[in-house]
Amino acid sequence: MERQDAGGTTTLEHPTASDDRTGSAINSKPGFRSRSPQRDHSDDASHERLAQTLGWFSIGLGMAELFAPRTVARLAGLPHDHRWLLGASGLREITMGLGILSERRPAGWMWSRVGGDALDLALLATALSSAQGNRKRTAAAMLAVAGIAAVDCFASRHLSRMVGWTSDDGAVLIKKTIMIDSSPEALYLFWRDFQNLSRFTEHVESVTIYDRHHSHWTVKGPAGYRVEWNAEITDDEPNRKIAWRTTSQADIHHTGSVEFTPSPGGRGTLVRVVMEYNVPAGVLGASIAKLFGSEPGQQVQSDLRRLKQIIEVGEVLKSDGSLHGKGILQQRPAQPAGSHT
Amino acid sequence: MKANCWYGAGDVRVEQVPDPTILNRRDAILKVTSTAICGSDLHLYNGLMPTMKAGDILGHEFMGEVVEVGSEVTNLRVGDRVVTAFPIACGRCLPCRQELFSLCENSNPNAWMAEKLLGHSPSGIFGYSHMLGGFAGGQAEYARVPFADVGTIKIPSDIPDEQVLFLSDIFPTGYMAAENCQIQSGDTIAVWGCGPVGQFAIRSAFLLGAERVIAIDRFPDRLQMARDGGADTMNYEEEEVYDRLMEMTGGRGPDACIDAVGMEAHGPGVLAAYDRMKQAVMLESDRPYALRQAIMSCKNGGTVSIIGVYSGFIDKFPIGSIMNRSLTIKTGQAHVQRYMAPLLERIQRGEIDPSVIITHRMRLHEAPQAFAKFNRKEDHCMKIVLTP
């Protein structure tokens, strides 16, 4: 609790401090508010309470699984050889429960509960198909888990919104910034030519320009599949801002904007990107991907870093270890790849 | 080509791997003529550095002959003899323009990993984990040097390898440690750790005007080498370091203290054992025994210069001592590119002979034995130079 409260204080104080320095101009720009003014904050407290209740539930269930595995197994109609699995799942429940109780808005931990529910359902489903055990009880247990899973999903989605992972309509929300040693004019021109996107973003394969406001994007999606969409420019303020969105027939709905602000003291240009989109597995997918460094926010940050390299150095620096990607799992040994790559 | 590859704690192997190729326009390929094992390589060897991957080529201290250059390298030619700086730096970003080369913003392709652990990413480093770029190192027959136009210095043909090899890391590193002490004439500087970096810190402190340098270690041969460099010495296994330092400085403490030990400090007593235990069970990534002692010993208003490598988190850090006594902490991976030219001049003028610290000369294919020997400090091992 203490740690999170301290963190909360910092986030609350920070905007005030930056307001003093930079004026309200940046914070009042559309798309950069950390919370939408329309959202009803009176709900927040009840969602926090719900999460806390689920946290205690996790600990209770975990204790039961850990210390009375036979009873739990009997109640759920599971065969006795599931005892060890129950113990492990008990430890998992307790960890998640403590995690949830340790934060005020435990969005990540709540999604881990959703994942846990899925595991439990899988475990029960296997038991259902085995000859031993009591199928009626197992089916009832599955129903109970499914009910809890629905509540977990509900709480997770709300918490994700509250901590700013998603926008009010549930899309994944990404905000990233980088400081680049160049002028807003040069950066605007570079970005305004959308064909340049494929030079520094990992996932945009190509962009075909139809006219001044319309283009067609081919994008590598998660798990290696490819998505395409038509995009239109919705806001174009030379040397300051470009905003775009996918047109209605796109597979993935996506809106984005980039702003270029000269930094104080002539230290380059602050580039801010805001993107919103629906990823296939939603926030859960994004949280899992986060662990492996390919979560969308991470990708956008890496993309901005590559943009910085192109502008400041002229090209993207390669290393042997990261030739196949930046994720932990994509790293190859840091030795020359030889002629085959 | 042959290269020394990391496979796990205590496990390095010399293997046949593909030759490096030009990957970026400012790359150069070197035919390595000499390479050294750094004390910080032992952190990798002991498995204390996160984000290593089996097969990673080690080595960040190397020099050689240019055999190929990328299209944008205009200041190097095939045949040039160069020493390479261990931090990889673009030379164009804001930190590079401020000569903070080890903080280059454009040279770590895996910057996000370092950000997770450190908050922000430093520059990429050769052969030093994926978190610091995933760059192949120089303990090999050939090496690719990114941003070679900024990260190398040409060496005249009349100076032997052994005189200049350490411009790649430990000489600038030791020098920066001393420079960070902002030495005034008459100052007393204490140096924890008489390994290669400590030896260069001792000698650099004198070059920069220190009156007296007190060197602390436990190995007689290392202490002897420190005395050869002009230092007074202290064996921490035989003397109480704090008490002895106070006695030598009239109770005031040294004007500046250099920690040239880093995350694998040894020490007597309960606290050192406590650190060892916590590090073993991964509750603490670094063992800060020497650092604590350096802070507590430093005079009021003095400077603690940390040059030994730390990777993560420590316990029982005496922040109260730092705050209440107006201490300054100066630290960082050496901004080698800043020091290579002036230090080469000092070598050419004969002010220092870096080769004195070399105790062993071995061949590249003997790297596994060399690592084992250096790690156990067998046979008075101080510095090993490998030749392909």
Residue pLDDT, tens place only, B230-244 = 999 999 999 999 999
Cβ-Cβ contacts under 8 Å between A and B: the total is 123
What is the predicted pLDDT for the residue at B74? 96
The verdict on a CB contact (< 8 Å) between B136 and A293 is no
Question: Does any CB of chain A come closer than 8 Å to the CB of residue B107?
Answer: yes
Reported confidence tier of residue B283, pLDDT bands at 50, 70, 90: low
What is the predicted pLDDT for the residue at A324? 84
Q: Is residue A321 part of a domain?
A: no
What is the predicted pLDDT for the residue at A75? 85
Question: Does any CB of chain B come closer than 8 Å to the CB of residue A305?
Answer: yes
What is the predicted pLDDT for the residue at B41? 95
What is the predicted pLDDT for the residue at A285? 57
Nearest CA in chain A to B143: A336
Q: Best mutation site among A177, A315, A316, A319 for testing chain B: the one with the most B CBs within 10 Å?
A: A319
Contacts by residues B178-181 (CB-CB < 8 Å, ≥ 24 positions apart):
B178/B204, B178/B205, B178/B207, B178/B208, B178/B210, B178/B258, B178/B305, B179/B204, B179/B208, B180/B303, B180/B305, B180/B307, B180/B330, B180/B331, B180/B332, B181/B205, B181/B208, B181/B210, B181/B255, B181/B256, B181/B258, B181/B303, B181/B305, B181/B330
- Looking at every residue in chain B, the average pLDDT score rounds to 94
Set of chain B residues whose Cβ sits within 8 Å of the Cβ of A308: 93, 105-106
- Which of B24, B53, B105 is the closest to A318 by Cβ? B24
Sign (positive or negative) of CA dihedral B268, B269, B271, B272: positive
| This prediction's pTM | 0.80
Q: Is residue A130 part of a domain?
A: yes
The verdict on a CB contact (< 8 Å) between A334 and B20 is no
A270 bridge partner residues = A179, A261
Task: Report whether A93 contacts A116 (CB < 8 A).
Answer: yes
B89-117: average pLDDT:
95
B303-320: average pLDDT:
90
**Single-letter code of the amino acid located at A208:** T
Q: Is residue A14 part of a domain?
A: no
Q: Which domains does chain B have, with CATH numbers?
A: 2-169+334-387 (3.90.180.10), 171-331 (3.40.50.720)
Four-point Cα dihedral B40, B43, B45, B51, nearest 10: -110
- Does the pLDDT of residue B135 top 50, yes or no? yes
Q: State whether A192 and A119 are in the same domain.
A: no
Q: State whether A204 and A283 are in the same domain.
A: yes
- Does the pLDDT of residue B379 top 80, yes or no? yes
Query: A224 or B151: which carries more pLDDT confidence?
Result: B151
Q: Which of A162, A182, A208 is the last residue of a domain?
A: A162
The verdict on a CB contact (< 8 Å) between A326 and B106 is no
What is the predicted pLDDT for the residue at A6? 38
Q: Best mutation site among B17, B105, B115, B121 for testing chain A: the one with the most A CBs within 10 Å?
A: B105
- Does the pLDDT of residue B301 top 90, yes or no? yes
The whole-angstrom distance between residue B266's C-alpha and the CA centroid of its chain comes to: 18
Q: Is residue A21 part of a domain?
A: no
Q: Is residue A114 part of a domain?
A: yes
Q: Any idea how long chain B is?
A: 388
What is the predicted pLDDT for the residue at A339? 62
Q: State whether A59 and A130 are in the same domain.
A: yes
What is the predicted pLDDT for the residue at A135? 83
The residues in A 141-200 lying below 8 A from B, measured between CB atoms, are 179, 181
Q: State whether A116 and A55 are in the same domain.
A: yes
- Does the pLDDT of residue B145 top 90, yes or no? yes
Instruction: Tally the domains of chain A.
Output: 2
Q: Is residue A17 part of a domain?
A: no
Question: Does any CB of chain A come closer than 8 Å to the CB of residue B98?
Answer: no
Q: State whether A182 and A308 are in the same domain.
A: yes
Neighbour-count burial of B17, counting CB atoms closer than 10 A to its CB (0-12 exposed, 13-18 middle, 19+ buried): buried
Q: Which of A120, A140, A162 is the last residue of a domain?
A: A162
pLDDT, tens digit, for every residue of A202-224? 888 899 999 999 999 888 766 66
What is the predicted pLDDT for the residue at A121? 87
What is the predicted pLDDT for the residue at A280? 55
Question: Does any CB of chain A come closer than 8 Å to the CB of residue B111?
Answer: yes
- What value does the CA radius of gyration of chain A take, rounded to a whole number of Å? 24
What is the predicted pLDDT for the residue at A72? 85
What is the predicted pLDDT for the residue at B10? 95
CATH number at residue A183: 3.30.530.20
Q: Which of A117, A135, A162 is the last residue of a domain?
A: A162
Q: State whether A230 and A177 are in the same domain.
A: yes
Reported confidence tier of residue B116, pLDDT bands at 50, 70, 90: confident
Q: Best mutation site among A202, A324, A335, A341 for testing chain B: the one with the most B CBs within 10 Å?
A: A335
Which residues of chain A fall below pLDDT 50? 1-37, 292-293, 340-341
Q: State whether A198 and A119 are in the same domain.
A: no
Q: Is residue A16 part of a domain?
A: no
Query: A225 or B306: which carries more pLDDT confidence?
Result: B306
Percent over 70 (pLDDT), chain B: 97
CA of A250: how far to CAs of A231, A242, A267, B185, B350, in Å?
9, 20, 39, 72, 71
Reported confidence tier of residue B54, pLDDT bands at 50, 70, 90: very high
CA of B3: how far to CAs of A17, A107, B38, in Å?
52, 46, 16
Set of chain A residues whose Cβ sits within 8 Å of the Cβ of B23: 318, 320
Phi/psi zone of residue A137: left (φ > 0), alpha (ψ -120 to 50 degrees), beta? alpha
Which residue range(s) make up the domain with A113? 2-8+30-162
The whole-angstrom distance between residue A270's C-alpha and the CA centroid of its chain comes to: 23
What is the predicted pLDDT for the residue at A24? 37
Distance from the B3 Cα atom to the nearest Cα atom in chain A, whole angstroms: 9
| Backbone phi and psi for residue B70, each to the nearest 5 degrees, phi listed first | -75, 170
| Residue A250 CB-half CA count within 13 A | 23
Q: State whether A151 and A195 are in the same domain.
A: no
Quickly tell me which residue has 């996160």 as its tokens.
B50
B181-202: average pLDDT:
97
* Rounded distance between C-alpha atoms, residue A126 and residue A186, angstroms: 60
Q: State whether A158 and A177 are in the same domain.
A: no
* Rounded distance between C-alpha atoms, residue A93 and residue A112, angstroms: 10
Q: State whether A77 and A150 are in the same domain.
A: yes
- Which of B56, B94, B107 is the closest to A335 by Cβ? B56
